[in-house]
């Protein structure tokens, strides 16, 4: 599932980032450019990040 349409970032990409040590939205923003355009993905990305961290 694509989370951030603007930067073409999938749920899987977020999961990979968490596997590589990402723990925050600001890291996702810096590392993947997530949420840097329209910002509509923010709440969805936050939820996915939280789920990934819970699974980790
Ligand atoms: Fe993520 Fe637009 S959908 S910045």
- Angstrom distance (rounded) from CA 35 to CA 55: 23
ipTM confidence score: 0.98
Q: Which atom of ligand 1 is nearest to the CA of 7?
A: 1
CATH number at residue 49: 1.10.10.1100
Residue 37 CA to residue 42 CA, distance in Å, equals: 10
Residue 20 domain boundaries: 2-55
The pLDDT score that the predictor gives to residue 56 is 73
- In this model, does residue 25 exceed pLDDT 90? yes
Domains held by the chain: number:
1
pLDDT digits (tens, 9 = 90+) for 5-21: 999 999 999 999 999 99
Q: What's the distance, Cα to Cα, between the start and end of the chain in Å?
A: 19
The residue to which tokens 């899987």 are assigned = 12
For 30-51, the pLDDT digits (tens) are: 999 999 999 999 999 999 999 9
Q: Hey, which of 9, 40, 43, 44 would you mutate to test ligand 1's pocket, going by the most ligand atoms within 8 Å of its Cβ? A: 40
């Amino acid at each position: 599932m694509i989370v951030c349409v603007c930067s073409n970032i999938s749920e899987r990409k977020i999961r990979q980032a968490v596997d590589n040590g990402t723990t925050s939205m600001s890291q996702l923003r810096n590392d993947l450019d997530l949420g840097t355009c329209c910002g509509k993905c923010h709440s969805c990305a936050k939820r996915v990040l939280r789920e990934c961290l819970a699974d980790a």
